[in-house]
Amino acid sequence: MTDADRTENQDGKAHGHGDSREAVRRTLGVPDLSLVVLIGATGSGKSTFAARHFKPTEVISSDFCRGLVSDDENDQSASGDAFDVLHFVAGKRLAAGRLTVVDATNVQSEARAQLVRLAREHDVLPVAIVLDVPEQVCAERNAARADRAGLPRRVIQRHQRELRRSLRHLEREGFRKVHVLRGQAEVESAEVVLERRFNDLRHLTGPFDIVGDIHGCRFELETLLGRLGYALVRDELGRAVDAAHPQGRTAVFVGDLVDRGPDSPGVLRLVMGMVGAGHALCVSGNHENKLGRYLKGRKVQHTHGLAETVAQLGEEDDAFRAEAGAFVHGLVSHYVLDGGGLVVCHAGLPEKYHGRTSGRVRSFAMYGDTTGETDEFGLPVRYPWAEDYRGRAAVVYGHTPTPRATWLNNTICLDTGCVFGGAMTALRWPERELVDVPAERVWYEPAKPLATEAPGGADGRPLDLEDVAGRRIVETRHMGRLAVREENAAAALEVMSRFAVDPRLLPYLPPTMAPCATSTGQTREGAGDEGFLEHPVEAFAGYRADGVREVVCEEKHMGSRAVVLVCRDESVAGELPHSPKGMGGTPIGVPKGVSGALYTRTGRPFFDDPETTERILRRIGACVEEAGLWAELETDWLLLDAELMPWSLKATGLLRKQYAAVGAASGAAFPSVLGALEAAAARGVEVGPLLDRQRDRAADAAAFTEAYRRYCWRVGAVEGTAEGTAQGAAEGAAAGADAAGGGTEAAAADPSGGLGDLEGVRLAPFQILAVRGRSLAGLAHTEQLALIDRIVAAEDAVASRGGAAPRDGAGGRPGLLATTRRILVDTEDEASIAAGVRWWLDLTADGGEGMVVKPVQALVRTADGRLVQPGVKCRGREYLRIIYGPEYTRPENLRRLRVRHLGHKRSLALREYALGLEALDRLAEGEPLWRVHEAVFAVLALESEPVDPRL
């Protein structure tokens, strides 16, 4: 009970039970999040008091609950069930952070004990308001109520006796505030005032500068405040006693101001001055808690740096020590700031504790939680609460030293071990920028090497099977919670564990892509879409319906989707910090001798020969250097989305077993069939319709063979000449014919044995996904392609320095990098749409696969907030022959194929897209590899969902 509460109760006692003199107006302070328990005999006016001072939704009446379960509010036999309902509803309200008032007699200690336990379970303060009204008043009120007119007087008398026995023990029972109102006049004159909790500073919106653990390092603190822009104020002895920011920013200290370092009194003097002047806030750390107990004369062990602080305080006067003791004693466990979007504490805090007040909350905020185990250094193993955190508020804390401050699940640990020789770190909020200063020296030898323990630290924790096994729910920023089925996770685990590249080189997997809506086949003026299964007008109409006016149509290269992680050099790959500028990151730990990765959309390496991969990565890196993008993008690594050609590089088995088999069968069957029918026709046999049908089928089969042969060519030059390249391409086409005739040569060299040369290999990058500390997935596609064009254009200069002939010149050899052609289309302009259709028709007529249509702006949403498809593919008429079979263009087949269901494919594409974005965001924010892989693995898992593979 506070001093104010005691005064109120004493004043109440002075009035006695009667109303002989006018009652002094009473103000009852009630925390705005608490469990208020009304206590009084039946008829004392509790329901009237509750209705006068609280919202109807805040009050839970035992009578009302009794009526809910029995249809009779006075049926005492239903009281057990009624109180079960009351406690359940009260618990739900408290869990939701809502003030709750219990309107029941509550005169028995057993009934109150259940409510006190309920308040403690939800970490709120229990408050008792006692209505001590004379027995006669209670009797008269009950007699005036028809449903209680027959209530025996002895019931009121029993309530009064139980109330008398309870009054002196309410605080001991656990009530943090007790307000006793004596007499009818005092009850009627009382006023309830909701009080803001000490930790509730949501009205303060900053901007803030949140400073990590200081541990007596005064000089580094002064330097850090200077870098943050604060002007120090010194006293006549030259000691820093305040610091103010010219732009009105507020410093927030996460605790552990003292112990271990060289000048804990100096740190206290500065921080106390800033807090006193309104320039700073400070929460309690475990070291302040221990120091406070020492200054109160309690017996504490002088360990973990307290001995140094005690010795330093011994040189200060009594007034300073008293001031310091009062300061640390008054520190709260945590603050909720900026409209509830920011929580600052010392050791971290799960969402269920934000804004709560209890010993459990205070203990967690100052000490964190442990698993009960100890490590090899004899220190407690801390429970990784931040790994499970999913709250909206950012939690900024310290306590556990880590080499780098990194974000994890919207939490960040700022203790970067200054006193141990690390650095002192501050976070600018809301900018989310980190500022740090190095320690002058190692002031205190740590019990173990400074390495990560805090979740999200430099190395994070190792990848673990539990991160991906079983049914999973992955939180994404763009589509909320996405589920991964257990059976899909098992399928993904098979691929990831047996075939994928080193998981440390796998920070992203691209999503599948949905096709445009199926063409109706009805001729529309200017559309020319008759006889087509997919047509651009459907893609343009779909985006127009989603509110997207400007789209970009990109050439769809007939290759295999490739993700390219390219580093400036091998040393960069060895560290590869995925972190925002000014922030340490999570090293992937790339194996020595590797400067990146080149892998398929399922995470498999394109080439078993590492040297081939390295040659491609070195060429791309050199082109990025020549284009000046390393410096312009302020990065030393890039993550690219691309197509690697030819398709036959990874489709040799498919060509042999599926496509070549069809070509071989048609090549063997149709010549003899047509010969026989033509001979019969020459003899005058009526076989005209049958002959025409078989000729059409033979033409379809030939078109099928021609369609897939366009995307297959040999790689590796013959004698290293340009003519050799042409010869290799010609041989690749011939290989298709050989396969059709049952030959043994595939349409492309098998890459498993390693490519002798890169001739014929083409890479068409079309998006820069991420760079150091930034996801570029939100960059407009026109800007993306402009950057890619610069990389491709730089290859001429890179090749010429190596002595190669110019790319694509007369007699010159083609380069490794290919340009992605494109055209912009206005979906609300018919002329623009017609131009887009013509461009697509010309592209596919020349053998192109088709195009991908994307909104120019990335991350587009509809008017109702739905995420728009990031791209839809519109494939050419002849290319679709490979997918749907040689005779798919027959009218009867088209009618059947037009009944295709795209809903699941579209849903899958959007979910995988959101997971890919989440992986890139986590990568950019420096989260540990296991967190990045949670989203990456989910993409691969979704790929095993059953869906029509032709879509």
Write out the two tokens for 863: 């008017």
**How many other CB atoms are found less than 10 A from the CB of residue 691?**
18
Helices (H), strands (E): how many in the chain? 31, 34
pLDDT band of residue 650 (cuts 50, 70, 90) is low
Place of tokens 């559309």: 527
Q: Which residues pair with 553 in a beta bridge?
A: 823, 853
Place of tokens 């139980």: 162
pLDDT band of residue 20 (cuts 50, 70, 90) is very low
- Whether 294 and 300 have beta carbons less than 8 Å apart is answered as yes
pLDDT digits (tens, 9 = 90+) for 104-127: 999 999 999 999 999 999 999 999
C-alpha separations of 70 from 67, 78, 85, 222, 460 in Å: 5, 6, 12, 68, 56
- Angle (CA) 16-22-28 rounded to 5° is 75
Bond prior to 751 in cis (omega within 30° of 0): no
pLDDT of residue 3: 38
Q: Which amino acid is at 245?
A: H
Q: Is 80 exposed, middle or buried (0-12, 13-18, 19+ CB in 10 A)?
A: exposed
How remote is the C-alpha of 599 from its chain's centroid? 24
Write out the two tokens for 213: 């653990």
**How many other CB atoms are found less than 10 A from the CB of residue 877?**
19
pLDDT of residue 188: 92
pLDDT band of residue 878 (cuts 50, 70, 90) is confident
Mean pLDDT for 33-62 is 94
3-state secondary structure of 688: helix
CA dihedral 36, 40, 41, 44 (to 10 degrees): -100
3-state secondary structure of 478: coil
| CA-wise closest residue to 454 among 393, 407, 410 | 407
Mean pLDDT for 827-847 is 92
3-state secondary structure of 758: coil
| CA-wise closest residue to 252 among 331, 168, 169 | 331
Q: Which ranges in 211-337 belong to alpha helices (H)?
A: 218-227, 264-276, 286-295, 306-313, 318-329
Place of tokens 């890139």: 920
- Whether 38 and 54 have beta carbons less than 8 Å apart is answered as no
Mean pLDDT for 236-247 is 96
Residue 283 DSSP code: B
pLDDT band of residue 374 (cuts 50, 70, 90) is low
3-state secondary structure of 370: strand
Bond prior to 380 in cis (omega within 30° of 0): no
- Whether 198 and 141 have beta carbons less than 8 Å apart is answered as no
Q: Would strands 423-429 and 208-211 be described as parallel, antiparallel, or unpaired? A: antiparallel
Mean pLDDT for 757-781 is 89
**How many other CB atoms are found less than 10 A from the CB of residue 430?**
13
Write out the two tokens for 138: 């209670």
- Angle (CA) 634-455-925 rounded to 5° is 20
N-term to C-term CA, the chain: 70
Helices 610-627, 781-793: crossing angle, 10 deg rounding = 100
| CA-wise closest residue to 543 among 517, 512, 524 | 517
Q: Is 57 exposed, middle or buried (0-12, 13-18, 19+ CB in 10 A)?
A: exposed
pLDDT of residue 643: 93
pLDDT of residue 590: 53
- Comparing 183-192, 580-589, 810-819, the range with the smallest average pLDDT is 580-589
Write out the two tokens for 158: 């029993």
Mean pLDDT for 906-911 is 92
> Which residues, at least 6 apart from 861, have a Cβ–Cβ distance to it below 8 Å?
867, 868
> How many whole angstroms separate alpha carbon 647 and alpha carbon 883?
14
Asked if residue 68 has pLDDT above 60, the reply is yes
> How many whole angstroms separate alpha carbon 159 and alpha carbon 779?
71
pLDDT of residue 5: 41
Q: Which residues pair with 589 in a beta bridge?
A: none
pLDDT digits (tens, 9 = 90+) for 501-559: 877 788 899 999 999 988 876 644 444 456 788 899 999 999 999 999 999 999 998 88
Q: Would strands 596-600 and 560-567 be described as parallel, antiparallel, or unpaired? A: antiparallel
Mean pLDDT for 379-404 is 83
- Whether 240 and 269 have beta carbons less than 8 Å apart is answered as yes
Sign of CA dihedral 53, 54, 59, 63: positive
Asked if residue 756 has pLDDT above 80, the reply is no
Radius of gyration of the chain (CA): 37
pLDDT band of residue 702 (cuts 50, 70, 90) is confident
Write out the two tokens for 314: 């011994």
3-state secondary structure of 621: helix
Taking phi over 0 as left and psi of -120 to 50 as alpha, with beta for the rest, 706 belongs to alpha
Asked if residue 753 has pLDDT above 60, the reply is no
pLDDT digits (tens, 9 = 90+) for 543-600: 999 999 999 999 998 888 999 999 887 766 655 544 443 333 434 445 566 778 899 9
Place of tokens 């208020």: 36
Q: Percent of the chain having pLDDT more than 90?
A: 50
The count of residues in the chain is 951
